[in-house]
Structure 1
Amino acid sequence: MNGLKADLHEVSALMKAHPAPKCDVLLCPPATLLAGMSMTTAGQIAVGAQDCHMQASGAHTGDISAQMIADAGGSHVILGHSERRADHGETDDQVRAKTEAAIAAGLTAVVCVGETEAQRDAGETLAVIGSQLKGSLPDRATGANCVIAYEPVWAIGTGRTPTLEQIAEVHDFMREQLIGHFGSEGDAMRLLYGGSVKPGNAGEIFAVSNVDGALVGGASLKAADFGAIIAALEAS
C-alpha cells in the first residue's frame, strides 16, 4: 500500500536507467496505479497487480478480477502474499482458486509461499512450504503461467535475511517438489526469493542454487535501489 501518481517519475527514472534490461522486470503497484503505470511503461517493463478475486465478476465490492487487471494493462498478479494470508486469512484453497482465475484470464500468477518465525524455529519450514505448494497451485500450472516466490515471513521488511544455505535448502526443496508434481513444467517454473532483498545482498542471493530472481519489497520503491537489484541479476 505504497505509491501515488506523483511517484510514477520513479518508473520513468528506472526505464531511463535500464532501457533494455537483460532480465524480466515486473512492477506490481496498487490497483489505483495499474493503468497509469501500464501506459508509462508501454511494454518496456511488465506491470501486474497485488491480488485478484477468484470470480470473474459479480457483487464483490472493493475487489478486482483478473480480467480487470488484464484490461488495465497488467500481465501478472501476485497471489497468496504472506500479508494477504495473515491480514485477510487467505487459505491455500483460496489462493489456488485465485490462481485458476488468473490463468483463465491470461495472466501469469506469482504465487507466494513462506513460513513464520515460529514455524522456522519449530523445524517445520519444509513441511509448511510443501503443504502451501501442494494446496496453492492448480494442476494446470505451468512454467509459462506460474512463478513461485519464497518469502520467509520473518524476513519481510525486518532487515533480517536467511542464510544463503537456508535459502538454498528451501529453493532446492521447492524445485524437487515442483518437478515431482508437474514434471518438466515444474522444472520450468521460475523461483523467486523475497524477504529484505536489497542492493547490498542481491548479488549473493542470485548466486544461490535455484534462485531465478527476486520478489522485492521496500527496495522497489526507489528507482536507484531497484535498478541496482536489476543490475545484480543481469550480472549473475
Structure 2
Amino acid sequence: MRRKVIAGNWKMNMTPSQAVKLVTELRPNVNNPDVDVVFCVPSIDIVPVVEAVKGSNIHIGAENVYYQEKGAFTGELSPEMLVDAGVSHVIIGHSERRMYFNESNTVLNLKMHKVLEHGIIPILCCGETLEQREKGITLDFIKEQIVEAYVGVTKEQVLHTIVAYEPIWAIGTGKVATTAQAQEVCGFIRTVFEELYDKETADQIRILYGGSVNASNAAELFAQPDIDGGLVGGASLKPDFADIVNYNK
C-alpha cells in the first residue's frame, strides 16, 4: 500500500522567524504515523526550519533548484547546497514557475536528473489551465508534461519521485476540482507511468492532488484509489494544517 504524502508549499511567504514559530507550533500535531509530512519552504527559511524540526517526523523541502552543480548562476541554488542544508524533497515544475519564469519541460527534465543524482526526492507538478480543460485537452497536455519530464529516468529512479496534479484553475482560487475530476486525472497519470514503465512501477509511484486542499475536503480526496496525499498551498501556512495531516483520525 502506498504511503500518503502531505506536503505544504509555502510559496513566497514566511520570514525565518515566522517560519520557525509556525513549525514549532505544528510539530507536535502533525505526527500521523500513516503520513509523510513535508514542508517546502522559501530558501531563506530552510536552515532555521531544518533545525526547528530536528528529531521530528517532518521533512523539509525546497521550492526550486537549479540543474547545475555550481557556477555563475546568480540567485540559484544547487542540489548540493540543498542536501547540505538538510533538504530531502524539492518541488519542480510548479505552474507558477512555468508561468512566471518560463520553465519548460526540457528544463524540468534536467532538474529531475540532477536532483535524483543527489538523492533528493523531486515533487513534479503538472496541471492544466481552465482554457485547456474547456477545450478537452487536459489529459493530452498532462501526459506531455510527464513524458517530457521523465525522459531518461530509469525504472529504479521513478520510485524516488512524486507527482503532484494541480489544476491551475484551482490553485489559490478556492475552487476545487470535484473528487471525481481529481481522481480521473490522477488515475490517468498512473496509466501514463504504466505505459512508460510497467504496471508494478505505476502501482508504486505516489500521486498527489493539489489545488485548494483543506481540512474539510482532505479525507474525501485522499480516500480515492489514485490520490496518495496532497500538495497544500495556503492551508499549510496555518496551524490547522494539522487537521489535513490528521485527515484519517
TM-score range, shorter chain: over 0.9
Distance 1:135 1:143 in 2: 14
Q: CA deviation at 1:19?
A: 4.1
Is residue 30 of structure 2 the alignment partner of residue 18 of structure 1?
Answer: yes
Q: CA deviation at 1:20?
A: 5.4
Give aligned pairs, total. 233
2:98 to 59, 78, 85: 85
Q: CA deviation at 1:209?
A: 2.4
Q: CA deviation at 1:43?
A: 4.7
1:110-157, Cα deviation, whole Å (9 max, x unpaired)? 000000111001001000111001011242263532000000000000
Distance 1:95 1:43 in 2: 32
TM-score, length basis structure 1: 0.95
Aligned match of 1:147: 162
Aligned match of 1:178: 193
* Gapped regions of structure 2 (runs ≥ 5): 1-11
Deviates more, 1:184-193 or 1:145-154: 184-193
**1:56-71 aligned within 5 A:** 56-71=69-84
2:45 to 33, 38, 41: 33
Is residue 178 of structure 2 the alignment partner of residue 167 of structure 1?
Answer: no
Larger RCO of the pair (alpha carbons < 8 Å, separation 6+): 2
1:168-221, Cα deviation, whole Å (9 max, x unpaired)? 110110011112212222321100000000111111111122000000000000
Distance 1:112 1:18 in 2: 24
Distance 1:43 1:79 in 2: 27
Q: Percent identity?
A: 38
Note closer, same or farther for the CA distance 1:43–1:88 as it changes in structure 2 (3 Å cut): farther
Query: What do you get for the CA RMSD once the two structures are aligned?
Result: 1.3
Q: Greater strand percent: which structure?
A: 2
What secondary structure, in the 3-state scheme, does the structure 2 residue paired with 1:15 have? helix
Distance 1:228 1:19 in 2: 11
Is residue 64 of structure 2 the alignment partner of residue 51 of structure 1?
Answer: yes
Distance 1:74 1:144 in 2: 18
Opposite residue 189 of structure 1, the aligned amino acid is: I
Aligned match of 2:231: 215
Judge conservation of contact 2:209–2:231 (CA < 8 Å) in 1. Answer: yes
Q: CA deviation at 1:6?
A: 2.2
Note closer, same or farther for the CA distance 1:88–1:6 as it changes in structure 2 (3 Å cut): same
What secondary structure, in the 3-state scheme, does the structure 2 residue paired with 1:24 have? strand
What secondary structure, in the 3-state scheme, does the structure 1 residue paired with 2:125 have? strand
What secondary structure, in the 3-state scheme, does the structure 1 residue paired with 2:163 have? strand
Q: CA deviation at 1:163?
A: 1.2
Judge conservation of contact 1:143–1:187 (CA < 8 Å) in 2. Answer: no
Distance 1:20 1:42 in 2: 17
